[in-house]
Every structure is written in C-alpha cells, then in structure tokens.
Structure 1
Amino acid sequence: MKKISLIAAIALALSPFFIAAFLFSSQSNIGGAQNYTEKVYVAIEEEGRVGVVDTASRKVIKSIDLSEVQNGKFVGYTTHNVQVAPNGKIVLVTANVKRGVMGESESNNEDVSDDLYDKVFFIDPKTDTVTGSLPIEIDSHLAHVVINDAGTRAYVMSQEKGILYSIDLTNKKIEKSISIGEKSEPHGLRLSPDNSKLYVALIGGKAIAEVSLKNYSVLEYPLSGAVIQTAVTSDGNYVFGSVYNTKKVAWIKTQTEEQGYIDLPEDAKGSVQLYATPDSKYLYVVNQGYYFDQPIGNTVYRIDIGQKKVDQVIPAGDGPHGIVVDKAGRFVYVTNLLSKDMSVIDALSNKEVARIKIGEMPNGISMWNKDMGGTP
C-alpha cells in the first residue's frame, strides 16, 4: 500500500507559479483587513499561500504568499496548517520547504541545502501581513500548531522527527522540545479547554497521546489504526480522534479515561479532521479518503455526541480535509483538497449553502472574529 504524505500530498517540480507570484507580490490584498468582522484563514498547501475569506461576503479578500529569499535562494513552501490565537492577536502557519522550488541551483528535488529551514510564520490578523518567522530544521515536516488562550505559547508538531515544540510567542523562540516517540508520526493536536494538556494524534503510533503541560509527561491511549487529528469538546468531557484506516471515530471520556468508538457509515472513505460544536453536543467529521490509496470522499458527517452515532451526512466538495465551526456554532467551514475550494455548511439545516474557490490543495483552516477572537 503506497503511503501518501499528509504534509505534502503531491510533490511538484519547479513551479513557474511560485516564481511569478513571488516576483509580482508577496501580499495581494482586496480591501483592508481591519474592516472585517469575521475571517477564515486557509493554508493553501500546494501554492505556499494563506487565503483569507470574509465570512460576510464569502469572498477571498487576501492572499498571503509565504515565498521568500532564504540565504540567497528563492524558497517556496508547502503551507500545511494555520491557527488563529484564541485572543485573536496572532495567526501562525506551519510551512515546509517545497523541494524543487528553490531557484536554479536547487532545481533537483533531492538536492536541498542544509542552510534552509522549515518555518512557523507569524501573521498579524489586523493587517494580514507576515510579521516574522521561526526557523526549524529542514525536513521536520511541521504538521499542526495550536496556541494557548493567553496567546503567549504555541505548540507545533514535527511529524518526521516525533517532536513537540513549545514556542515562546513573546520572544518568538523555541523554549522546549519534547519527544513524542520515534516513528510515532505525531500529526494533529488540540489543547484541553483549561490549557493543561495536549491531545496529539499519532499516525504511526496508532494512538492518542495525552501530554501534560505541567511536567511534559506523555500518556498514550492505544487505538485500532492511524490517528490523523484530535478534537476536544469545549466542556472538556470528551476527546475524539479520527482513525483514518477504519470506519470509526475514537472517543475518550476524560474524567474516567473510558474509551470507545463511534461507527461511521459503511461507505466511509477515511476521516481526517474533526471539530466539536461550541455547545459540546455535536462533532463534525470530514470523510476525505484519498490518502493511502483510498477512494475520494465528498461528505461531512455530524455525530450526536450524547448518542454517539452519526445523525447527518452532508455533501461537500471532493476530498474534504480541514474543518472548523464558528464560535457562535452557526456555520461549519470545510476545505476540499481536490475540488480546490471551501464548503460553507449551515449548522441549522446541515446543508452546504456556499462553495468558495480557494486554490490548489486547501488544507488547514482556522477562524478569527473581531469580538470573539480565534477558534481553538
């Protein structure tokens, strides 16, 4: 079975798109970012950009290109994940050096200089401009990132190295590196509501890892397959994991450590991201497929958490991947890898009400609200 990387789904050769985009402009803007009440940020993986969508008009209002000159070389990135801080003051993006997009001297995809770095980029949501970046060793395969409520600390996963990085956001530096386990392939992660623990999805380790942020101890909950992402209810009672190569979603009851599974429909192709509603009543799960030679999915499941069963199947785009629910619980936003767009789902009717063109391989997704901050 051929394994497809979750960090870079398709490796591209040297792309004129990246060179032209960089030479033309690194930040294209339609209107001032400060004029909007609510925005969705999308990591457009294969284009090395972050798309910004105004939820009121449902239009892309800005495209933030992360391409840059690094140590004298033009460098393009795959932008994998994006996260808005709960206080709404910063947006972080994980970006990995895109092989083959490094100027003429680096046109060979296998020849990557040691003086290049994967990075975490910092974006100011008031202006939607890049304000800085934090270099991390190349080929770290930076996956997901989360931010604490105070906006003082971020946590970033290196899937390749099995390392969790704790980042001091005040000084923009790594303050601690925690080993999650060799070959565990940690990918997605979410914070507990009280910010005392991290719940990490282990693809290779086939488990959910609970990381204490008091002493950085790691406790694993073994599961039946590769776990891509986790979700935590806002009341803190449940943790969920998408077990990709099964037709199930795993659950853990945090107070008792009881574990179990929720069955997905028989035609499920492979779940990736999942997100709970603010009232902790429902869990939305994307049915993506595509990875690991699976058929392509095009639906989103809603799970009734109390009943622990799927109660809605919602059509979306091709290869739904990233998902977030707005802080009011009114709309669900889903990135569709293969149809290059984002679905907007009405959480009352559970129907897709809009489809917005985003770009090549839209991946991670997060939301900013002027009054309520960012989605956790």
Structure 2
Amino acid sequence: MMIRKCNWLSAAVQVGLLAWSGTTLAAEQVYVANEGADTVSVLDAASLKTLTNVRVGKMPHNVQVSPDGKLAWLTNNGEPDQAADVSAHKGMAQGDHDAMGKPGAIWAIDTATNMVVAKVPVGMHPAHVVVSPDGRLAYVTNGGDNTVTVIDTAARSHVATIPVGQFPHGLRFSPDGKEVYVANLKGGTVSVIDTASQKEVAQVPAGKGPAQTGFTPDGRLAFASLSGENAIAVIDPATRKVIRKVAVGTVPIQLYATPDSRTLLVANQGTRKMAGKTVSMIDLETFKVVKTVVTGAGAHGVVVDREGRYAYVTNIYANSVSMLDVKDRRVTKTVPVGKAPNGISVTP
C-alpha cells in the first residue's frame, strides 16, 4: 500500500513540475488535406474524432507537420478567389495532375491554435512540402514549372529555386538531412538534391510514373512508388541505383516506412473507375508483400506514428481516413473527413 502511495505521489509531482515549467503533454493530432473541400481536417490520433476543420486556400494537396510539431505546412493554389479554374484537377485518378494557371503557395497552421499563421508564395502547381529534420527549411515541389522551391521556415522567405525533372510530385528527406529525393511523375526519374549546395546532383531512372519517395529511418533504403507500373522501386542510396522492384496494388501513390525500418506501407489508389482500396505491407528483409489490408476507396496518403503502432490512410474517393494497427495488420477504425482527402501527417 505504501509503495502504491509513493508511486502515485511521484507521478503527481512529475505532472506538477511539467505544468509549472510550462510543458504540456499534448495529444497527437492527425492533419488531413481535403483537396476537394479547401480545408484541413484535424483529428485526434487516438480516437480519430474530428477536432476542427481549418479553412485554407484552394485545393490543398499535401500537408506536413514540422519536426517540432508546432506547425503544419500545406500546399495549395492560393486564395480561393485568386485560383485558376482547376475543375480538371482530379487528383491522381487519371495518372497525373493538370498544371495550374497561377503560382501557388504554402501555408502554415499553428498546431496549438489550429489557425493559419503564414502564407508563402512558391511556384506553379505546388504538390508536396517537406520540412528538414532541423526544422529550418521547407522544400516544395512545383509540378507546373519543374522546380523545387526552398523556403526559410523562420523568416518565411524564399531561399532557392532548384530545377529538377519533369513534373515533380512527392519528395522526402534522407534521415540525415543531407539529401532530398524528388519523384518526377512525368519524367520517370527520382531527382537527388544535395541540401548543402541546394542543387540537383543526380537523376535516378526509376520507372513509370514515380509519385512519391521515401526512406527507411536507418537510411539503408530509399523508395519510389511507380504509379504507372503498379510497383515500388527500391533504391540503394549509396549507389543511387534501383536494386529491385516489388509488385503492389494498382496505382500506388504514397508510401511510408515504419520506425524500425522493417516494413513499408504503400497506399494503392487505383483509378476513379476502378478504385484501389488497399495498403500493401512489404517486409523489407524479404521484399515480399506480407499483407494487403483493405482500407477504403482510393487509398492515397499514408503516414505512421512515431511509435510505429498505427498508420493513418486517406481514402480519396471515399472521403474518409482509416486507422491501421501496424502489428495486427488490420484497420481498427474509419471516419469521414472532407471531400477528396489527399496528404496526411501526424504530430511527432
């Protein structure tokens, strides 16, 4: 009994000290870019309850929470009244995106208040945004002008514009922050950007329709989803060569490796007429698909939480988000969000 009292008192003192110091134990949140609703849904990561919907710019395509969890950056095509006619923009259902008529922007949402606190212009048709491991820089793919824009996240100003391959789409940092891999959707390549020089230093021939890239957290492997050949390209970062391909579902889009670098999750979107509804789970030792999990129509975005316990998947045609138990390899919950949910990110 005395031991229980002591443990309870110790825990109470720790919580009190955290409160006194101003530190908060914030619950994890999931941010979802609803491309067809001009909103970002904010969900509680445990319950998937919608906490709020943030009104943003026209057609938000992708969202990325900063490493410190304080900001959620998203790509869109500017203020709604300034956007071009984008009725032909159908997500990845038709294989690619039509370029927009005017430059876009990245916006930042303060995750404490869920209010938009910054708007920074970028290039034509911004697709994805990623933030450097140290949080200082954001890199944005501009599909309409074949460039990547680099933004200083503190000053919220332009740092560099880097020419890359044809129609850059998804991109990710290497774990050490030294390189960025960019999927050139119409070029069939992956551009390698050296972050020290802010220049493209290589283009890796990958396959048909590379839509997104990724790395294992240990840096051993890199990946590109090949939306045009229903496969994943596995890349050796040391040699910058594709070392194998793994067949997955139809029109794979986003992918994400678990924190232990053992499993790769791949969202298979399919097309609007023949929607994909699955996530492929690939064992990264055998390079075999060990499980195909049904989520919802148009499985598109995927992210894994910091513990590697849950993955969150946007179902772009079903207007929903699914929560997937990584260990049990099954969906535990699916909830409605805004129209055409696309990119997805979780607070660290």
- TM-score for both structures, normalised by structure 1: 0.79
Amino acid at match of 1:361: A
Distance 2:282 2:177 in 1: 25
What does 1:52-91 align with in structure 2 at a 5 Å threshold?
52-67=42-57, 77-91=58-72
Distance 2:207 2:44 in 1: 39
Residue 308 of structure 1 pairs with residue 298 of structure 2? no
User: 1:39 is matched with which residue?
Assistant: 29
Distance 1:160 1:354 in 2: 36
8 Å CA contact retained: 1:167, 1:175: yes
Residue 206 of structure 1 pairs with residue 188 of structure 2? yes
Q: Cα RMSD over matched residues?
A: 2.4
User: 2:114 is matched with which residue?
Assistant: 128
Give the CA deviation at 1:136: 3.1
Large movers: runs of 4+ above 4 Å: 106-110, 114-117
Residue 261 of structure 1 pairs with residue 244 of structure 2? yes
What does 1:23-34 align with in structure 2 at a 5 Å threshold?
none
Residue 358 of structure 1 pairs with residue 337 of structure 2? yes
8 Å CA contact retained: 1:253, 1:259: yes
Give the CA deviation at 1:36: 4.3
What does 1:159-170 align with in structure 2 at a 5 Å threshold?
159-170=143-154
Q: 1:231 to 1:109 in 2, by over 3 A?
A: closer
Give the CA deviation at 1:126: 1.1
User: 1:20 is matched with which residue?
Assistant: none
Give the CA deviation at 1:38: 0.4
Distance 1:261 1:150 in 2: 31
Residue by residue, what CA displacement relative to the aligned partner does 1:31-78 show, whole Å, maximum 9, x if unpaired? xxx8841000000001110000001222010100015xxxxxxxxx00
- Percent of counterpart pairs with the same letter? 34
Amino acid at match of 1:346: D
User: 2:12 is matched with which residue?
Assistant: none
Residue by residue, what CA displacement relative to the aligned partner does 1:124-151 show, whole Å, maximum 9, x if unpaired? 11111111201235xx110000001221
What does 1:88-103 align with in structure 2 at a 5 Å threshold?
88-97=69-78, 102=81
Residue by residue, what CA displacement relative to the aligned partner does 1:196-220 show, whole Å, maximum 9, x if unpaired? 1000101111011111112213301
Distance 1:212 1:116 in 2: 28
Distance 1:282 1:39 in 2: 23
Residue by residue, what CA displacement relative to the aligned partner does 1:168-198 show, whole Å, maximum 9, x if unpaired? 11110111101114xx110000000111100
8 Å CA contact retained: 1:262, 1:309: no
3-state SS of paired residue (1:46): coil
Residue by residue, what CA displacement relative to the aligned partner does 1:79-117 show, whole Å, maximum 9, x if unpaired? 00000011212110101148xx539xx99979xxx9975
User: Which of 160, 173, 187 is equivalent to 1:191?
Assistant: 173
Residue by residue, what CA displacement relative to the aligned partner does 1:252-279 show, whole Å, maximum 9, x if unpaired? 11224342333325xx221000000000
User: Which of 213, 232, 239 is equivalent to 1:230?
Assistant: 213
8 Å CA contact retained: 2:105, 2:122: yes
8 Å CA contact retained: 1:87, 1:149: no
User: 2:157 is matched with which residue?
Assistant: 173
Distance 2:178 2:77 in 1: 28
3-state SS of paired residue (1:335): strand
8 Å CA contact retained: 1:89, 1:151: no
Distance 1:130 1:217 in 2: 32
8 Å CA contact retained: 1:36, 1:54: no
Give the CA deviation at 1:222: 0.6
Residue 296 of structure 1 pairs with residue 279 of structure 2? no
User: 1:240 is matched with which residue?
Assistant: 223
User: 1:74 is matched with which residue?
Assistant: none
Structure 2 unaligned runs (5+)?
1-23, 89-99
Count the aligned residue pairs: 313
8 Å CA contact retained: 1:270, 1:287: yes
Distance 2:46 2:242 in 1: 40
Distance 2:183 2:253 in 1: 11
Amino acid at match of 1:274: L
Q: 1:256 to 1:339 in 2, by over 3 A?
A: same
Give the CA deviation at 1:362: 0.2
Structure 1 unaligned runs (5+)?
1-33, 68-76
Give the CA deviation at 1:296: 1.1
3-state SS of paired residue (1:170): coil
Amino acid at match of 1:222: P
Q: 1:352 to 1:170 in 2, by over 3 A?
A: same
- TM-score for both structures, normalised by structure 2: 0.85
